[in-house]
Amino acid sequence: MYEGKIVFNKKEAKNIYLLGIEIPKNILKKFQPGQFLKIKINQRMDPLIPRPFTIHAIEENIVYILYQIVGKGTKSLSKLRKGEVLEFLGPLGKPFPKLKNYIICAGGIGIAGFGFLLQKSANKRNFYPPETIFYGARTKEELARLSFLKRFGIPVKISTDDGSKGYRGFVTDMVEEELKQTPRTVLACGPKSMLKRVAEIGKKYKVKTYLVMETFLACGTGFCMGCVIPLKRGKYAHLCIDGPTFLAEEIALESLS
């Protein structure tokens, strides 16, 4: 486990916070877009297991974590203040695949992992930028980091379930309309229901579709078998070492709850 000092922990949107952790630069050099950290929120027994958080962005020697309050652990995390020290393990998982001519589909807090990808793709060396970012949330109050996303000059198309901002409806509706016109590879992260729909759309239009998966994650090293993802033909993969990004056609999506 490494240690990092909190430099800010501020509210960004409804139940969504941005955490900045100061980390030695020699550790930050190892980080790649699509990877994640396991953060130990406090020294108490509850919550006992460190929580996984995708790497949102990196500026100088600060790693940014964009997270949503969904339970006891993230509620505790939101109460931490500047100057406190966190323990973390990482980077974990494989980076995003290196894609060209692709679009991003993000639902809710699924937008978190794509900030670092945009940063790394700005020079078009190791990663290429997406053609368009499709970003959906339930309401405009739950949209986060829009000004940051638009900084990279890539079109950002917004949808909200209630129509309070952008297209009224699901983000997958916009993705399907896009693929009707111009078939492209899709890289998606969000709720499982959204990922299943993205996989269906990708299959319909015969495009490669990559899904960033989430599941319970304990050890983070592949030992405990707690984060297995069901694959086709009865096989399994470890999210922590084989993922978190998988080709949709490889996953047994019907087995996901």
| pLDDT in 10s for each residue of the chain, 257 residues | 889 999 999 999 999 999 999 999 888 889 999 999 999 876 554 555 678 899 999 999 999 999 999 888 899 899 999 999 999 988 999 999 999 999 999 999 999 999 999 999 987 778 999 999 999 999 999 999 999 999 999 999 999 999 999 999 999 999 999 999 999 999 999 999 999 999 999 999 999 999 998 765 555 555 555 677 888 877 888 777 888 999 999 988 887 66
8 A C-beta contact, residue 157 and residue 176: no
pLDDT at site 218 = 56
pLDDT at site 94 = 94
Q: Are strands 16-22 and 209-212 parallel, antiparallel or unpaired?
A: unpaired
H/E segment holding residue 40: strand 36-40
For residue 243, tell me if it sits in a domain: no
Are 70 and 154 within one domain? no
For residues 43 and 124, give the distance between their C-alpha atoms in angstroms, rounded to a whole number. Answer: 41
pLDDT at site 123 = 75
**Which residue blocks in 39-145 are alpha helix, DSSP H?**
72-78, 114-121
- Which residue, of 34, 56, 91, is where some domain finishes? 91
With b for 16 or more beta-carbon neighbours within 10 A and e for fewer, the 93-107 pattern comes to: bbbbeebeebbbbbb
Are 108 and 86 within one domain? no
8 A C-beta contact, residue 117 and residue 133: no
For residue 109, tell me if it sits in a domain: yes
For residue 120, tell me if it sits in a domain: yes
- Which residue, of 41, 62, 91, is where some domain finishes? 91
Amino acid of residue 22: E
* Structure tokens, 2: 């490494």
Residue 19: CATH number of its domain: 2.40.30.10
Closest CA to 109 of 73, 78, 145: 145
For residue 253, tell me if it sits in a domain: no
Residues of the domain holding 184: 102-212
Are 118 and 198 within one domain? yes
pLDDT at site 42 = 63
- Which residue, of 91, 123, 142, is where some domain finishes? 91
Are 33 and 53 within one domain? yes
* Structure tokens, 9: 């922990």
User: What is the pTM (predicted TM-score) of this model?
Assistant: 0.92
pLDDT at site 189 = 96
Based on the structure, what is the number of domains in the chain? 2
Are 73 and 162 within one domain? no
pLDDT at site 45 = 42
For residues 252 and 20, give the distance between their C-alpha atoms in angstroms, rounded to a whole number. Answer: 36
pLDDT at site 216 = 59
Are 60 and 26 within one domain? yes
H/E segment holding residue 174: helix 171-181
